[in-house]
Chains A and B, each alone.
Chain A
Amino acid sequence: MSAVAGRGAAQGVAGGATTTLRRTRRADLGGRAFRGLAVGSGALILAMLAAVAGFLLLEAAPALTASPAELAALSWMPDDGSLWRYVGPLAFGTVLAAVLALGLAVPVSVGIALFISHYAPRRLADVLGSLVDLLAAIPSVVYGLWGALWLAPRLQGPWAWLADHLGFVPLFAGPASTPPRVMATVGVVLAVMVLPIVTAVSREVFLATPRLHEEAALALGATRWEMVRMAVLPFGRSGVVSAAMLGLGRALGETMAVLMILGPGLTYSLALLQVGRHQTIAANVALQFPEANALGVSALIATGLVLFVITLAVNSAARWVVARRAVGGAR
């Protein structure tokens, strides 16, 4: 009898322990839900990337497998019907436009971001900061219209001057075309377009510089600029690369502005001031798509696949450069 009671009591104790210490369903629900959400979101990104890549491959397949003779029948294909010879200049033009835009925009962006974060008086910095955020939110088509209709005609003079005085540099080889529907104009407009986003992100990065590092420089007798060079720029370098990548994405994919400005042509020319030399992948797809037949659409999607690969490659390269240059990964 007592043995039975003792066993019952022991069971009771064990039961008590399990109810207080064992995981309960209710307490675990939030954790599970969060984990599900996080894993799900992560998986969704991969799934979307795979879906886009799959779509591009699948839709481009007919063009990729088509015979040169079939492709040559498309009016805008090279006569030998080689898809690669068609994509080559487009990819070149795309990268050229993006490099030009970033080359112009990033130094200016970093300058503006530094001015806002470390030079401007507090109130001016606040105003400028929110202004930049505002500009970054404006859709690129608005910049495209402004660039094509207002800015481009005004670049006529500067381009003619460049061709006259620096024409010996291959980039500025003359004659400068009139109207300036040229790569140089595209580069400037794209630069204006990516400037706000690159500035906004760089500013955040510079503002996050640890106070300790800035004071370390100042206490050694650094001037403001020396402090920026010793503490702010090294700290912000990887962030600026990320900002530039965001801008690069915008520049690589920009369609409308390029379409409205550029007089297209398919060459590997470096002459930025001559019309009919370049075209970008995105603008070309928009230009040819409305009148393309089934095989034409497939060929255009193949060029889109190339753009996708370029973007991935550039992004990975940039991340690799940043990771390699971070000193020991130490913070």
Chain B
Amino acid sequence: MAQRIEVKGLDVYYGSFRAVADVSMVIEPRSVTALIGPSGCGKSTFLRTLNRMHEVVPGARVDGTVLVDGVDLYDPAVDPVAVRRQIGMVFQRPNPFPTMSIAENVLAGVRLNDRRISKADAADLVERSLRAANLWKEVKDRLDRPGASLSGGQQQRLCIARAIAVQPQVLLMDEPASALDPISTLAIEDLIAQLKDEYTIVIVTHNMQQAARVSDRTAFFNVAEAGEPGRLVEIDDTSVVFSTPRHKATEDYISGRFG
């Protein structure tokens, strides 16, 4: 299920503004890759190019290639809707659909793919997805309550359950714990550690301890100054980046000297 992502010479533009320049990296399957860097360095923008969510912004476009298991996401024959069905995403702020129940939220993506799912299959899928998101025990007695009735941390795990219910190949997370309290954050981090057995995970985080805790590989992005494009400074095993980074900027950033 998990797949390898290969990015080659990727530039991202918003209109005529180049937001991210010349990113190349390989993301291995069944691993967690953390993207870190100061605000405005383009890490979130880059993350969104991995499932073409940046195209939601009018005028956004990409040069270069993103290969997922050898298929170029930006091939003209590729449908962005199909891409997003295979590459799930979890956002900074939990965003369950407010008018749907907990169970309906989990099934939302599945219903898009296959409307005629039997009741038993649906119930089974809800349970499996919520179990995988470590939420089942907390909500199993109130699956028909609105998703918005949960706490922020539970909502975020509900969003993760919703994302994995469609069994994506890759899971992208854009600062998934930055709006959560420390205990909920811990729950999300534990969950990430479990999920990497099955998925390729890419996570953007502002929290360097979090990157160090959850990720196998760490990519450091930086931006020279406002108006300049963000660039990938280095990517390596997390232990290497946090102990013996190759670049001064990385060392300064992870030791808290700027950013």
A residues apposed to B, CB below 8 Å: 122, 210, 212-223, 226, 230-231, 234-235, 237, 327-328, 330-331
Q: Which residue of B lies closest to A234 (CB)?
A: B99
B84 touches A221 (CB 8 A): yes
Residues of chain A within 8 A (CB-CB) of B96 are 216
Cross-chain contact A216 with B97 (CB below 8 angstroms): yes
Residue of B nearest to A211 (CB): B56
Q: Please determine whether B98 and A235 come into contact, CB atoms closer than 8 angstroms.
A: yes
23 pairs, CB–CB < 8 Å, chain A vs chain B:
A210-B95, A212-B91, A212-B93, A213-B95, A213-B97, A214-B56, A216-B96, A217-B97, A218-B84, A219-B51, A220-B85, A221-B86, A222-B112, A223-B81, A230-B97, A234-B97, A234-B99, A327-B99, A327-B100, A328-B145, A328-B146, A330-B146, A331-B98
CB contact between B113 and one of A122, A213, A215, A221 (< 8 Å): that residue: A221
Would B112 and A221 count as touching, CB distance under 8 A?
yes
Give the residues in chain B near A219, CB-CB below 8 Å: 51, 53, 84, 88-89, 91, 163
With A and B bound together, what is the CA distance between A222 and B56 in angstroms?
Answer: 12
Instruction: Report the minimal beta-carbon distance from A73 to chain B, rounded to whole angstroms.
Output: 58
Cα–Cα, bound, A212→B194 (Å)? 26
| Contact size range, B | 20 to 34
Residues of A within 8 A of B91 (CB): 212, 215-216, 219
Q: Which residue of A lies closest to B59 (CB)?
A: A122
Per CB-CB distance, the 8 closest pairs between chain A and chain B, nearest first, are: A221-B85, A330-B148, A220-B109, A234-B99, A219-B89, A212-B95, A221-B84, A216-B95
Judge whether B5 is part of the interface by a CB distance below 8 angstroms: no
Q: Which of B58, B84, B112 has the most CB of A within 10 A?
A: B112
A residues less than 8 Å from B113 (CB atoms): 221
Q: Which of B56, B58, B146, B163 contacts A220 (CB 8 A)?
A: B163
Q: Is the CB of B53 within 8 A of A230?
A: no
User: Of all chain B residues, which has the CB nearest A237?
Assistant: B99
On whether A330 and B149 interact (CB within 8 A), knowing A219-B84, A234-B99, the answer reads yes
CB within 8 Å of A: which B110-164 residues: 112-113, 145-146, 148-149, 159, 162-163
For B166, the chain A residues whose CB sits under 8 A away are 220-221
- A221–B113 Cα distance when bound, in Å, is 8
Q: Which residues of A contact B149 (CB under 8 A)?
A: 328, 330
Known: A213-B95, A217-B108, A219-B51; 7 extra A-B contacts, CB below 8 A, are A215-B91, A219-B89, A220-B88, A220-B108, A221-B82, A231-B97, A327-B146
